A and B are shown apart, each in its own frame.
Chain A
Amino acid sequence: MAVHLAIGQAYAFSTFNLPLTKLIGLKASAPGDWDLKQMGWVFSIAIAILGISAAVFGRWVEAAGPRKSMFTAALCFGGGFIVAAIGIHLHQLWILYLGYGVLGGCGLGIGYISPVSTLIKWFPDRPGMATGMAIMGFGGGALIAAPLSVILMAHFKTASSNGVLETFVTMGVIYFMFMMIGVYAIRVPAADWKPAGWTAPAQPRQLVTTANVAVDMAWRTPQFWLLWVVLCMNVTAGIGVLSQASPMIQEIFDGRVSAAAAAGFVGLISLFNMLGRFLWASASDLIGRRNTYMVFFLLGILLYSTVPTLGHLGSIPLFVAAFCVILSMYGGGFATIPAYLRDMFGTYQVGAIHGRLLTAWSAAGVLGPVLVNYIRQYQIDSGVPKEQAYSVTMYIMCGLLLIGFLCNFAMRAVDEKYFHRGSSQA
């Protein structure tokens, strides 16, 4: 959880966007300052590298164990801040991209998957709750990082600096040390470990395997790709809203929601994104992973199709409540997927399989915001009033969720021909 709380900072990177465009001009952007478009790429590169590094280094993470991989993640993430700070000092954009985007992105990817298989082995009775709690940290990281960044920048601000450089160095050191708590505390259980008083059910539940599938075999199964689409559709629907939450609520309730109140809305849905990770993943231990995703997709379709009506009715509390539930299911989707993978492919190399599945996140990270932004712009260009420009987007999100529902509905147990026959100790 310490690792995920640290790397969850990525969701709050936007707090640096404006200050980074005023490094020369300080109060306003001056000639030679970076622009917002260039700053938007820092987060995009980091998220893309997250998915790629989780896929590429997944097998190494399984082989090296959680302590080594978490230490590597701490070095990359903390070091990424320091290299990015050098880029800020020299005012070289490529060094900023290399530092936070590439090096920091590797820290995000390796750190994200590092604790997963260890937690699943510690809690064979409650794998959803265990991974949900860790992944909840990723959602909660932004809640800490956003106010912390603002406080640090205000603290380091001088007549000749807006404090971003010093804040990057400080955060690099703080996050490295914070992640070292996880490195220090993590332990791998003995091969025959099980919780006191717990015995594995003699009759495994439907869609819960007792066999194992290796990572190289897993991604040749239809189940892997069905789960890829399930995650991609669930994330696309949520991430598009997250990226546009502030302007969306201000435009739908034109004149009734201020910029400060919209920032409060973003914070509130981020909070539900975090809580959903723990609550839905824990619920999946009781009702099953497939059923949990069925709820995500069906309830998601119901809520997304209701949102335009709530906007027309002018009901801010109902609108906010609908998006709180939607974002809780977005977080829940992330947190439930490791346990779903464990159910389908066993505990052997589940971390590496999870790493490869996270490429769905990278794809959704591009697809979601692009869909919301472009469709909104197309609607406005076609003469639709701004407050109604999101209605079509919401119905398209329903369509995406329907695709996810059908893939989840088609899920069956993995064929025996894919099972791993050797030792299952990774």
Chain B
Amino acid sequence: MKGKLIVLWGAVSLPLLWGVMKTLQNAMKLFE
């Protein structure tokens, strides 16, 4: 049960983290 939860959280949070990183990279241009 715990393993399944970790896999499910990983499946939704990893793409989100990737998107946040990409957004922050672009946002840095605002202060360059």
Please report A residues at the B interface, Cβ cutoff 8 Å: 1-2, 5, 137, 140, 143-148, 178, 181, 185, 257-258, 260-265, 267-268, 270-271, 316-317, 320
The answer, among B8, B22, B32, for a CB contact under 8 Å with A185, is: B8
Q: Interface majority SS on A: helix, strand, loop or mixed?
A: helix
Q: List 19 A-B contacts (CB under 8 A).
A: A1-B12, A2-B11, A2-B12, A137-B16, A140-B16, A144-B16, A146-B22, A147-B18, A185-B8, A257-B30, A263-B29, A264-B26, A265-B30, A267-B24, A267-B27, A268-B23, A268-B30, A270-B23, A271-B27
B28 at the interface (CB under 8 A from A): yes
Within B1-32, the residues touching A (CB, 8 Å) are 8, 11-12, 15-16, 18-20, 22-24, 26-32
Q: Interface majority SS on B: helix, strand, loop or mixed?
A: helix
Q: Nearest-CB distance from A242 to chain B (Å)?
A: 14
User: Do the beta carbons of A267 and B32 come within 8 Å of each other?
Assistant: no
User: Do the beta carbons of B15 and A5 come within 8 Å of each other?
Assistant: yes
The answer, among B15, B16, B20, B29, for a CB contact under 8 Å with A264, is: B29
Please report B residues at the A interface, Cβ cutoff 8 Å: 8, 11-12, 15-16, 18-20, 22-24, 26-32
Q: Specify the chain B residue showing the minimal Cβ separation from A265.
A: B30
User: Do the beta carbons of A181 and B12 come within 8 Å of each other?
Assistant: yes
Query: Which of A144, A260, A317 has the largest number of chain B CB atoms within 10 A?
Result: A144
The answer, among A137, A262, A267, for a CB contact under 8 Å with B12, is: A137
Q: Nearest-CB distance from A169 to chain B (Å)?
A: 19
Q: Nearest-CB distance from A292 to chain B (Å)?
A: 24
Given known contacts A268-B27, A271-B27, is B22 in contact with A261 (CB within 8 Å)? no
A137 / chain B contacts, CB cutoff of 8 Å: 12, 16
List 14 additional A-B contacts (Cβ < 8 Å) besides A263-B26, A264-B28.
A140-B16, A143-B23, A144-B19, A145-B19, A146-B22, A146-B23, A147-B18, A147-B19, A178-B11, A257-B30, A263-B29, A265-B27, A265-B30, A271-B27
User: Do the beta carbons of B27 and A5 come within 8 Å of each other?
Assistant: no
User: Do the beta carbons of A143 and B29 come within 8 Å of each other?
Assistant: no
Given known contacts A261-B32, A265-B30, A268-B30, is B22 in contact with A143 (CB within 8 Å)? yes
How many angstroms between the C-alpha atoms of A317 and B32 in the bound complex? 12
How many angstroms between the C-alpha atoms of A185 and B12 in the bound complex? 12
Q: Nearest-CB distance from A66 to chain B (Å)?
A: 15
B24 / chain A contacts, CB cutoff of 8 Å: 267, 271
How many angstroms between the C-alpha atoms of A317 and B11 in the bound complex? 35
B22 / chain A contacts, CB cutoff of 8 Å: 143, 146-147
The answer, among B8, B16, B18, B26, for a CB contact under 8 Å with A267, is: B26
